[in-house]
Amino acid sequence: MSPINLAIVGVGKIVRDQHLPSIANNPDFKLVATASRHGTVEGIPAFTTIEAMLDAVPAIDAVSLCMPPQYRYEAAYKALSAGKHVFLEKPPGATLSEVADLENLAKTKGVSLFASWHSRYAPAVEAAKAFLADTTIRSVHVIWKEDVRHWHPNQEWIWQAGGLGVFDPGINALSIVTHIFPALFLTGATLEFPENRDSPIAADLHFRSGQGLPVHAEFDWRQTGKQSWDIVAETDAGQMVLSEGGSKLSVNGELTFSAPEAEYPSLYRRFAEIVKAGVSDVDVSPLRHVADAFMLGKRKFVEAFHD
Amino acid sequence: MSPINLAIVGVGKIVRDQHLPSIANNPDFKLVATASRHGTVEGIPAFTTIEAMLDAVPAIDAVSLCMPPQYRYEAAYKALSAGKHVFLEKPPGATLSEVADLENLAKTKGVSLFASWHSRYAPAVEAAKAFLADTTIRSVHVIWKEDVRHWHPNQEWIWQAGGLGVFDPGINALSIVTHIFPALFLTGATLEFPENRDSPIAADLHFRSGQGLPVHAEFDWRQTGKQSWDIVAETDAGQMVLSEGGSKLSVNGELTFSAPEAEYPSLYRRFAEIVKAGVSDVDVSPLRHVADAFMLGKRKFVEAFHD
């Protein structure tokens, strides 16, 4: 099979850091065009709009959409309508309804849609899942606490309504949680909004499963010093800690699995796989939990946040 | 086929006003038990919990769950696990994730789950749908404005986080909108919260379809005098007005369809139909739009509300 002719829309930091090296090292893909208002990739035909790109390069088979979620639907609709496979950066959209619509469109057009969740491909996630499958889980504690000033300096869009605030990193935790634990739903939530912002800076979430497994998640963007991206499960086989955003697995304090980070290479392997199989991979459950938290959550107002 | 042995959980005003007469007049159902903390139905075995009821009356085939949404999952899980068909009052749950979980459970158990939307069965809804199918729609305006003091006097739960506020009636409009128009998604929203309440008293919502159809919805709970439950569509065949909550259809000012209200009798006919066919009917799209509105919407604080 000849490589999949791929185009990228929205050439920014994540594309340069992650997408381009992953594509370059994957023989299943050949980068043939980009569309971006400002960014370009050396040696690759560049356009400023997706329409111009799709018109000029009919050989495009698939498109990776890497712009902020607020602008993603429009581009995805055009690409799918033109019969192209589509890779969506996380989160797959600004609303659940638009993702449902795109999923139907992909089905109608007979192309593959991929709602990517990079944290699911963190090195130790599958090892954690395998460990949990062989034991009984008693409770889960998710701690996702980082310094927004370090990770998102002066990013205005993330604080606007629809920008998701602390759920932007928190959804990474939820993408792992929904992959390794039984189906959960929210039973209560408190969202803390800085009094000068439209998105939350912290969230405290209580979930349970149908069988009653309690899961407590704490997301906070005000953490200075050591950053925490940990999932702790108390089980009949001991305490499991999946730490550093899914990179390391420990059981009862002993490191049992660790491997080099390779999230984006894995995402592109998965994308090639679903394109070849002629299927889509759209799991909205992480975004659905976020929407549920906004719908069900109690709002609390806290100190103003200034970058 | 002998009648479906039905039980009701949560015997309150809506049960007395709507469910009981609809069940009594439908030969497909026989009411055999109720479970409710306080309410009972004359001549029908009454229990105070669903567990006691399911234990005592194994002949129950199906259960209608009519308590507030915050308590519905637990009961639905028990009923489905016991192999009973389940009728959910609207909205089907407090979160989208729990409804997805129940839908999977119903499938596993081989029973029918019905997420009911009574306004979809308002008399003129199908006539509106048929009218729209034969023309091109240019724009839609939804006006759902009522007096909360009249319709929900001193109902504290509706103002609590998760109580949905003005979306409690607004979801009725959305259940019609999602039934008669193409798939939509939210592009912008403003939610007005009384400064002393956790749920919105008004919402201004802008939707569009994939093809670009603009839909504007206004929900407001501060309407005194004439109440408005209208959906207005500008089309190539003229202006269509579906008014009085779906009761009357007019085109270019002329009444073209009207019939007596029969929403709950229709819901029970539909429930019998899906039970006989061995399928579920769970369309979460109205609730999904509500969750999207909470996630995407800008919050505005307005005057305190006192009953």
Chain A interface includes B291 (CB < 8 A): yes
The answer to whether A161 contacts B98, with C-beta atoms less than 8 Å apart, is no
Identity at B148, one-letter amino acid code? V
The answer to whether A288 contacts B100, with C-beta atoms less than 8 Å apart, is yes
Torsion angle defined by CA atoms of residues A283, A287, A288 and A290, in that order, rounded to the nearest 10 degrees = 160
**In a 3-state reduction of DSSP, which class is residue A194?**
strand
The answer to whether B161 contacts A100, with C-beta atoms less than 8 Å apart, is no
Q: Which residues pair with A254 in a beta bridge?
A: A251
The answer to whether B296 contacts A95, with C-beta atoms less than 8 Å apart, is yes
Chain A interface includes B258 (CB < 8 A): no
Q: What local confidence, expressed as pLDDT, does residue A127 receive?
A: 98
Residues B217, B173: contact at Cβ < 8 Å? yes
Q: Tell me which residues of chain A have a pLDDT lower than 70.
A: 1
User: B122, B125, B123, B103: which is closest to B113 by C-alpha?
Assistant: B103
Number of Cβ atoms within 10 Å of the Cβ of B228:
16
**DSSP code for A119:** G
Edge-to-edge strand order for the sheet containing B202-209?
B254-258, B248-251, B238-243, B228-235, B137-145, B214-220, B202-209, B184-194, B298-302
Annotated catalytic residue, options B78, B84, B90, B145: B90
The answer to whether B183 contacts A297, with C-beta atoms less than 8 Å apart, is no
Torsion angle defined by CA atoms of residues B216, B120, B145 and A163, in that order, rounded to the nearest 10 degrees = -40
Q: What is the DSSP string of B13-37?
A: HHIIIIIHHHHHT-TTEEEEEEE-S
% chain B with pLDDT above 70: 100
Q: What local confidence, expressed as pLDDT, does residue B215 receive?
A: 98
CA A167 to mean position of chain CA atoms: 10
Closest-CA distance, B298 to chain A, in angstroms, reads: 5
Contact residues on chain A for B92, CB-CB shorter than 8 A = none
**Structural domains of chain A in order of their starting residue, each with its CATH number:** 4-115 (3.40.50.720), 122-261+291-302 (3.30.360.10)
Annotated catalytic residue, options A90, A145, A226, A300: A90
Cα separation, B31 vs B40, whole angstroms: 12
Q: What local confidence, expressed as pLDDT, does residue A42 receive?
A: 95
Residues B254, B179: contact at Cβ < 8 Å? no
Condensed to tens digits (0 to 9), the pLDDT of residues B161-210 reads 888 999 999 999 999 999 999 999 999 999 999 999 999 999 999 999 99
Residues B95, A186: contact at Cβ < 8 Å? yes
The beta strands (E) that lie in A136-251 are given as 137-145, 184-194, 202-209, 214-220, 228-235, 238-243, 248-251
Q: What local confidence, expressed as pLDDT, does residue B71 receive?
A: 86
Q: What local confidence, expressed as pLDDT, does residue B214 receive?
A: 98
CA B95 to mean position of chain CA atoms: 14
Contact residues on chain B for A98, CB-CB shorter than 8 A = 185
Identify whether B91 is preceded by a cis peptide bond (ω within 30 of 0): yes
Residues B157, B151: contact at Cβ < 8 Å? no
Cα separation, A285 vs B105, whole angstroms: 16
Per-residue confidence band for B156, with pLDDT thresholds at 50, 70 and 90: confident
Residues B280, B107: contact at Cβ < 8 Å? yes
Closest-CA distance, A231 to chain B, in angstroms, reads: 20
The answer to whether B288 contacts A96, with C-beta atoms less than 8 Å apart, is yes
The answer to whether B105 contacts A77, with C-beta atoms less than 8 Å apart, is no
Cα separation, A289 vs B24, whole angstroms: 40
Residues B160, B269: contact at Cβ < 8 Å? no
Q: Region B86-99: what's the mean pLDDT?
A: 96
Give the nearest partner residue to A95 out of B93, B101, B185, using CB atoms: B185
Chain B interface includes A71 (CB < 8 A): no
Chain B interface includes A157 (CB < 8 A): no
Cα separation, B278 vs B272, whole angstroms: 10
Chain B interface includes A282 (CB < 8 A): no
Q: What average pLDDT does the structure give for chain B?
A: 96
Run of H or E including A126:
helix A125-133
Q: What local confidence, expressed as pLDDT, does residue B69 receive?
A: 84
Most A CBs within 10 Å, among B107, B171, B196, B295, to test the A interface:
B295
Residues A263, A119: contact at Cβ < 8 Å? yes
Q: What local confidence, expressed as pLDDT, does residue A286 receive?
A: 98
Q: What local confidence, expressed as pLDDT, does residue B155 receive?
A: 87
Run of H or E including A256:
strand A254-258
Q: What average pLDDT does the structure give for chain A?
A: 96
* Helices B285-296 and B96-109: angle between axes, nearest 10 degrees: 150
CB pairs under 8 A between A and B: 97
| B residues 106..145 contacting A (CB < 8 A) | none
Q: Region B12-35: what's the mean pLDDT?
A: 96
Q: Region B89-97: what's the mean pLDDT?
A: 96
**In a 3-state reduction of DSSP, which class is residue B222?**
strand
The residue of chain A nearest to residue B77, with distances taken between CA atoms, is A210
Run of H or E including B6:
strand B4-9
Closest-CA distance, B152 to chain A, in angstroms, reads: 20
The tokens describing A255, both together, are 């490191």
Cα separation, B243 vs B257, whole angstroms: 11
Contacts of B153 (CB under 8 A, 6+ apart): B307
The answer to whether B291 contacts A289, with C-beta atoms less than 8 Å apart, is no
In degrees and rounded to multiples of 5, residue A202 shows phi and psi of -155, 155
